Amino acid sequence: MAAKRDYYEVLGVAKDASADDIKRAYRRLALKYHPDRNPNDAEAEKKFKESAEAYEVLGDPDKRSKYDRFGHQGLSDTGFHEFTNAEDIFEAFGDIFGGGMFGDLFGRRARRGPRAGRDLRVQFELDLLEAARGCSKTFDITRLELCASCRGSGAKAGSQPVTCSYCGGRGQVLQSQGFFRISQTCPGCQGRGTQIKDPCTDCSGGRVKAKRTLQVEIPAGVDTGMRVRLRGEGEPGDNGAPRGDLYCYISVREHPLFHREGANLICQVPITFSQAALGADVDVPGLAGKQRLSVPRGTQSGEVFRLRGQGMPDPNGRAKGDLVVQVVIETPKKLTKRQEELLREFAETEQAHVTPQRKSFFDQLRNFFTAEESSSDDQKSKEK
């Protein structure tokens, strides 16, 4: 799964944009990619949700501050949730589009029965070994829960919500707009069909913030951008509707030895000139410890070898990836006297030119100028 885009980039605003600039940018994108304007367009729906997600963060001063400091990972304990459908977005941000016909057509839609609870998300950063083996994570999250005093009704204990007198419990009212009659969300009950005359003093609208400790089992082989869902661990729904889900997003830290490409692991292993020329069995790092690699005679620097099934496991249960080893021939920076003698003998057998052993820098410099002077004299003779 691809990494999430920067939220400022999504909305097309600068990082120092004002709250009004962010609101206007989101409104423009929401109208452009609205499902009613782009029926059966999966790409438009994706951008509609993406812009709503960006606005939820950048439109909230606290979430925006954490995002500016820590990026996407800073949102793990802010109650940030994932929008799963357009109805969820209309409910959250419908008021941003204003009232009247335009507001209801491209803003909040009428509820069709009890609305399921919102989904939440947290972020986990794993090292490569945790991702390879799978792990269990225990974490705390602050989320909305039903108030114990009113059991989520929002009405004071001993009382009940009453039918909305403005819409008669329908949640909708008809408004005339010229030749049109438009059904709009009731301003008296915001579409619920009921009103609370005697509010609960322990909560706000039947919900309270609560801290919960949860545990998630992360399967082996996960990669950055993948997510694990905990069903029913989101926020509670309305009027007995099911809870939302909790999505655990994964990011995997870079490893100092391995570079990951899907299920394959790639590493560079240094070998000596003699090992490359003569062949050797060398130890290379692997997830399960040392692995033995047979390097054949005449191996060239940069050659690649593949150890089948020694890479990352697949979280869907398919075959493991491979460990891909690229050998790099290291040139020694220091030689013993005997090593230097042997290398010079080898060079002579190759008839390869190497720097003379005892010629000092000043000897070489003197020879250089002597050669230059001879060349200059020869040129002058030719000119005469």
Task: Point out the least confidently predicted range of 87-91, 158-162, 300-304, 335-339.
Answer: 87-91
Summarised one tens digit per residue, pLDDT across range 177-194 is 554 556 677 887 877 788
**To 10 degrees, the CA torsion angle through 104, 110, 116, 121?**
0
Using CA atoms, how far residue 87 sits from 22, 70, 91, 211, 274, in Å, is: 22, 30, 6, 27, 68
What is the number of other CB atoms lying within 10 angstroms of the CB of residue 20?
8
Summarised one tens digit per residue, pLDDT across range 122-147 is 999 999 999 999 999 999 999 999 99
| pLDDT band at residue 159 under the 50/70/90 scheme | confident
The whole-number pLDDT of residue 377 equals 62
**Is the pLDDT higher at 57 or at 316?**
57
Q: Is 343 in contact with 306 (CB distance < 8 Å)?
A: no
Total number of residues shown for the chain: 384
- HEC string for the chain: CCCCCCHHHHHCCCCCCCHHHHHHHHHHHHHHCCCCCCCCCHHHHHHHHHHHHHHHHHCCHHHHHHHHHHHHHHHCCCCCCCCCCHHHHHHHHHHHHCCHHHHHHCCCCCCCCCCCCCCEEEEEEECHHHHHHCEEEEEEEEEEEECCCCCCCCECCCCCCEECCCCCCCCEEEEEECCEEEEEECCCCCCCCEECCCECCCCECCEEEEEEEEEEEECCCCCCCCEEEECCCCCCCCCCCCCCCEEEEEEECCCCCCEEECCEEEEEEEEEHHHHHHCEEEEEEECCEEEEEEECCCCCCCCEEEECCCCCCCCCCCCCCCEEEEEEEECCCCCCHHHHHHHHHHHHHHCCCCCCCCCCHHHHHHHHHHHHHHHHHHHHHHHC
* Dist CA 158 CA 149 (whole Å): 10
Q: Which of 117, 123, 64 is nearest to 92 (CA)?
A: 117
The whole-number pLDDT of residue 196 equals 85
Tokens at 30, concatenated: 């929401």
Beta bridge partners of 183: 174
- Residue type for position 241: A
Give 148's contacts (C-beta < 8 A, 6+ positions apart). 202, 208
| pLDDT band at residue 103 under the 50/70/90 scheme | very low
Summarised one tens digit per residue, pLDDT across range 331-379 is 888 989 998 888 888 888 876 555 555 455 556 556 666 766 666 666 6
For each of the domains in the chain, give its residue range(s) and CATH number, in order of start.
Answer: 259-330 (2.60.260.20), 337-383 (no CATH)
The whole-number pLDDT of residue 114 equals 62
